[in-house]
Amino acid sequence: MAFNYTEPTSPPRVRFAPSPTGDLHIGSARTALFNYLFARHYGGSFILRIEDTDKVRSTEKSLRNLVDGLKWLGINWDEGPGEANPTDLTSETGDHGPYLQSIRRDSHLAAADKLKSLGFAYECACPPVETAGASKCQCALKQDELGNVPEELKSLKFKIPPGPPVMVHDLIRGEVMFRRDDLQDFVIVRAGGLPTYNFVVVVDDASMEISHVIRGEDHLSNTPKQILIFEALSLTIPIFAHIPLIHGSDGTRMSKRHGAVTVEAYMNEGFLPEAFVNYLSKLGWTDGTDREIYTLKELEEAFTLSHVSSSPATFDRDKILWFNGKYVREISDDDLLDRSLPFLAEFVDPVDLNESTRAWLTGIIRMYKERLEVLGEIPSKLGYFFNDPKGYDESALRKAKVDGDAFNYLVELKKLFLESEWTTGDIETVIRDYIVKREIKLKAVVQPLRLVITGTLATPGIFDTLFYVGKEPTVRRLEYFLANYRPPG
């Protein structure tokens, strides 16, 4: 619960500043979403800035993945790299660029020089990795002895200036106090001239006129360092809001070992972006009502930081599956078919669909609306519409009660089917008339029929199912079964 939440007094400028060092993580996606919603809610600007200062780990592939992920979620940026070619500076939008942090190097270095000349930074010749037992850095005290150390071996460190505790005014956490004695001098420019994150984030946020920094709670502890740099450089300090992290089921920060953690993975599994966004928004946020379902537009209207939780949320696959199923049921048949086509690719070529095939597929998809949680289930669940069953196992035959009587029913039904028209209604009439004539229960013929035609015990209603399987395949499958299987006993 955010206790000291105050509304922005002017249109906010917020940013999502990921580093392109891997795929778009769920936690990052939610951070992006909260920033985006906040900007939209208050009519502000949402800025995408790429923090590619770690040249070793940053890749263009990750950048692409990032951009694609955001687009898929429906999160558009007002300022930032161009979508088609994010590394092409000429395609950027916005007048606070460049939005690739690595390109802003000169301004970072200029700020570093300023800090140095102002006495806030000093050179350090300590080895990069402080091994265990390494003595504390004394470079600040012996700057004049560093003259003969080669430039490329010296880093620049920010000196924590003396003073009262640093207060972080956080929209979600309240006032958080850090004593300066607990803060350590830290590198702002690496040996070799590359500035570090905690430093450039300040310079860039300031020059991009960021009003609110909404980011993960993992950044809270570094915030006082950043505030000190803002102050040293006489820059305006933005308002901070640290949102809780997303945890895996074991209570630790969500990572690969908790299963699917990237936006791309959910995309490939057949989650709908609407459902994904809806779920993400509800992880740590509420509008105070019992409402669960929101479109992106509705979220833009409802979202503020006032009801963002301060405790971490555990990612729950069951719930996101429920959200997805909900959305699958709600979108139109036509829309659902279009989105399902990629998952039907092993059965039908999506590029050349004639009208009747499309109508047929729409009918099938419609039947499965209540039965799909994710679109990725399509190949395994709908295969029988395209291919004959590969065989029948004993236990299924037993469960469906395919006994001697059932064999007789199937023989007779096959004949009746051959003479019948093939609409759902005709099929139903044939079967219902048949059970009346034989004085048997519907179930006695439906289950054997279902198993033989589809190879499974669970399908939509049998009449529709047979209709969409088609007359010819239905008869063919019956013939195959009758020719190759014998009743038990």
Window 429 to 458, contacts with RNA (CB under 7 A) = 442-443, 446-447, 450, 457-458
Q: Does 425 bind RNA (CB under 7 A)?
A: no
Q: How many residues bind RNA (CB under 7 A)?
A: 86
By beta-carbon proximity to RNA, the closer residue of 356 and 380 is: 380
Q: Which of residues 362-391 bind RNA (CB under 7 A)?
A: 370-371
Q: Which of residues 312-341 bind RNA (CB under 7 A)?
A: 312-314, 316, 318-319, 321-322, 325-326, 329
83: Cβ–Cβ under 8 A, 6 or more apart, which residues?
Answer: 67, 71
Q: What is the DSSP string of 68-116?
A: HHHHHHT---SBBS-SS-TT-GGG-BSSS---BGGGGHHHHHHHHHHHH
Q: Could you identify the residue written with the tokens 């139109």? A: 332
Q: Which of residues 37-66 bind RNA (CB under 7 A)?
A: 51, 53-54, 57
Candidate segments 67-75, 192-200, 336-344, 469-477, binder of RNA by CB under 7 A = 192-200
Measure the CA–CA gap between 205 and 195, rounded to whole angstroms: 15
Measure the CA–CA gap between 244 and 311, rounded to whole angstroms: 6
Active site residues: 256
The pair of three-digit structure tokens given for residue 204, joined into one six-digit string: 């860039």
By beta-carbon proximity to RNA, the closer residue of 436 and 442 is: 442
* Residues 466, 427 contacting (CB under 8 angstroms): yes
Q: Does 18 bind RNA (CB under 7 A)?
A: yes
Residues in contact with RNA, shown as a per-residue x/- string from 220 to 259 under the rule CB under 7 A: xxx---------------------xx-x---xxx------
Least spacing, CB of residue 315 vs RNA, in Å: 7
What are the two backbone dihedrals, phi and then psi, of residue 214, each rounded to the nearest 5 degrees? -105, 115
Other CB atoms within 10 Å distance of the CB of residue 356: 8
Q: Does 207 bind RNA (CB under 7 A)?
A: no
By beta-carbon proximity to RNA, the closer residue of 139 and 232 is: 139
Least spacing, CB of residue 129 vs RNA, in Å: 7
Cα torsion for 398, 400, 401, 405, to the nearest 10°? -130
Other CB atoms within 10 Å distance of the CB of residue 414: 19
Least spacing, CB of residue 107 vs RNA, in Å: 16
Residues in contact with RNA, shown as a per-residue x/- string from 279 to 298 under the rule CB under 7 A: ---xxx-x-x-x-x------
* Residues 241, 171 contacting (CB under 8 angstroms): yes
Q: Does 6 bind RNA (CB under 7 A)?
A: no
Least spacing, CB of residue 170 vs RNA, in Å: 8
